[in-house]
Structure 1
Amino acid sequence: MLRLAAPALTALALIAGPAQALDLSDMSPAEREAFGAQVREYILENPDLILEAFQILEQRRELAEAQADFQLVEANKDELFNDGYSWVGGNPDGDITLVEFMDYRCGYCRRAVPEVAKLLKSDGNIRLVIKEFPILGEASMISSRFAVAAKQVAGDDAYKQVHDALLEFGGEPTEVTLRRLSDNLGLDTDAVFAEMDSDEVTRQIAQTRALAQKLNISGTPTFVLGTELLRGYLPADQMELIAQEVRERG
């Protein structure tokens, strides 16, 4: 009976509020048993009470997580928005920054490409930062090293071309396929391959990984939109609403 009464008591306390909460420790065994029977009967007559209590608990949990994420973003905003090495696109002077942690082997990252493009086109005042976050195996790491090396050797425009091509590419990132890609884009392929294992490329990827760990990011895509940490794929219309909310909060 007490096992039934405990969650019911939690539900009653959540609905009634702290002032109405009851303390079972002040009851005798007989009183506790009688109370448990009454609570069970009440819940059986009012089953929606449990659903309402779960909804309240979920709202509290989401609020606590959102507050924790806000604090994480605030504590790491310099590394997030201005690390000095990540590619910056969209409107470089936009009033809101969208950061994307991505992996070239991630199917949802590929699904997010047109959504991010739609958001940037419809808004026009969002700055985009791409974070190379290879977490899906060796092929992911090779792809990221290749993209970062292309940026080091040939600059931002070359990086964007490589970045887009790798997201569209469905095969394995072997030396043959990456050399073909580099040649097709008119890059200095030997220089890019020589740069792939450089200390600077290693440093950038490691630094981004360390930042992700501080933000408790373990999957891709993960976005930071203004002050909001968004874990997972989102369509453009939802990101537009979040951008609006961020602006309204100032």
Structure 2
Amino acid sequence: MMIRIFLLLGLVLLVASFPLLNNWLSNHSGKSTTLDKDAVISIVEEYITNYPQRVIDLLTTGQAQAERAELTENIKKYKSELEDIAYPSAGNKDSKIAFIEFFDYSCGYCKMMFEDIKQIIKDGKVRVIFRDFPILGESSLKAVKAALAVHLINPSKYLDFYYAALNHKQPFNDESILNIVKSLEISEEEFKDSLSKNSSTIDKMIESTRNLAEKLNIRGTPALIIGDAFIGGAADLSTLRSKIVEQQEQ
């Protein structure tokens, strides 16, 4: 069905462009020139029938390029939201390059990447901003609320929670989350007080991240924004460092 839609779209675009093609030919040949529409359509239909994958590839590539250009513009448009200082961050606070990670604590690929993120922070070339983006159910939401509660108690403790939570191999529950919190030398009473007292702030932070992800058409994790470059999905340390260098050279 999708193949037929793509082919039909290509044919429609061709027919719609006939007036422009005729004008172009007339202007460049110096005399009136009219294309035989039926003959050209027949040729195009034959080409589409014989080489459907080529047509699909061209249309898909064009769509991907358009989406990429739109995303780049949106990254610039929402720069102030992406770099909101209210959200947890680490690394070089004075860097002009922001490295924003949309992630979920239950995401397997996010867990695979956290050692590389740790190294990026140690490299000290960028300011890493964490956008906790719970998309994998209630377990993820519990972890995110806990992370932000810790951040609001003591921002310097957030990164330790981030590392511990991404290193956690099982689904999150109240007990496992509390164990992580206690390992940060935050008492149960202080933690629960932050969850309660800051519940409205935490909910707004999560909702803001969800809204921002929707504006940027981010639907999965991890999603990384480095300067004005976007990486959808996991990337290795070499790729991350290369992207940072590219942004530094701009």
2:101 match: 100
Distance 1:138 1:124 in 2: 34
Residues 196-211 of structure 1 correspond to what in structure 2 (within 5 A)? 196-197=195-196, 198-211=199-212
Residues 68-105 of structure 1: CA distance to partner in whole angstroms, max 9, x if unpaired?
00111111100101x23211112112231100011101
Residues 120/42 of structure 1: CA separation in 2 closer, same or farther (3 Å cut): same
Give me the whole-angstrom Cα distance separating, in 1, the residues matched to 2:74 and 2:46. Answer: 45
Contact kept? 1:95, 1:125, Cα under 8 Å: no
- Alignment length (residue pairs): 230
The question of whether the paired residues in 2 share the 8 Å contact of 1:119 and 1:237 is answered with no
Asked if the contact 1:147/1:159 (under 8 Å) is kept, the reply is yes
- Over 3 Å counting, the alpha-carbon distance change for 1:113 and 1:26 in structure 2 is same
1:74 aligns with 2:76: yes
Equivalents in 2 of 1:134, 1:42: separation in Å?
46
CA-CA distance at 1:173 after TM superposition: 2.6
Aligned to 2:248: 247
Please give the alpha-carbon distance, in whole angstroms, between the structure 2 residues aligned to 1:42 and 1:76: 43
Task: Give ranges in structure 1 of 5+ residues lacking alignment.
Answer: none
Within 2, Cα distance between the matches of 1:35 and 1:208?
Answer: 50
Relative to structure 1, is the Cα distance of residues 157 and 7 closer, same or farther in structure 2, using a 3 angstrom cutoff? closer
Looking at structure 2, the residues matched to 36 and 210 of structure 1 have their Cα atoms a distance apart, in angstroms, of 44
Does the residue aligned with 2:102 lie in a helix, a strand or coil?
strand
Contact 1:98-1:126 at 8 Å conserved across structures: yes
Change in 2 beyond 3 A, CA 1:163/1:59: same
Q: CA deviation at 1:141?
A: 0.7
How far residue 134 of structure 1 moved from its aligned partner, in angstroms, is 0.9
Tell me whether 169-178 or 64-73 shows the greater mean CA deviation.
169-178
Q: Is the 8 A contact 2:213 2:219 kept in 1?
A: yes
CA distance in 2, matches of 1:179, 1:234: 31
Question: SS of 2:94's equivalent?
Answer: coil
What RMSD over aligned residues (CA atoms) do the two structures have, in Å?
Answer: 3.3
Letter in 1 for 2:238: D
Alignment-derived partner of residue 156 in structure 1: 155
Q: CA deviation at 1:106?
A: 0.6
Distance 1:243 1:51, change over 3 A: farther
* Secondary structure of 1:216 counterpart: coil
**TM-score, normalised via structure 1 length:** 0.77
CA distance in 1, matches of 2:219, 2:101: 13
Report deviation, 1:119: 3.7
Q: CA deviation at 1:26?
A: 6.3
Matched, 1:125 2:125: yes
Tell me whether 1:144 sits opposite 2:144 in the alignment. Answer: yes
Alignment of 1:1-250 (within 5 A): 27=36, 32=38, 53-81=55-83, 83-121=84-122, 123-153=123-153, 155-197=154-196, 198-248=199-249, 250=250
Pairwise CA distance, 1:136: 0.9
Residues 102 and 223 in structure 2, CA contact (< 8 A), matched pair in contact too: yes
Flag the 1:120–1:54 CA change in 2: closer, same or farther, 3 A. Answer: farther
Alignment gaps of 5+ in structure 2: 26-33
In structure 2, what is the Cα distance between the partners aligned to 1:239 and 1:107? 18
Contact 1:103 1:135 in 2 (8 A): yes
Structure 1 residues 161 and 35, CA gap change in structure 2 (3 angstroms): closer
Query: How far has the Cα of 1:220 moved from its partner?
Result: 0.9
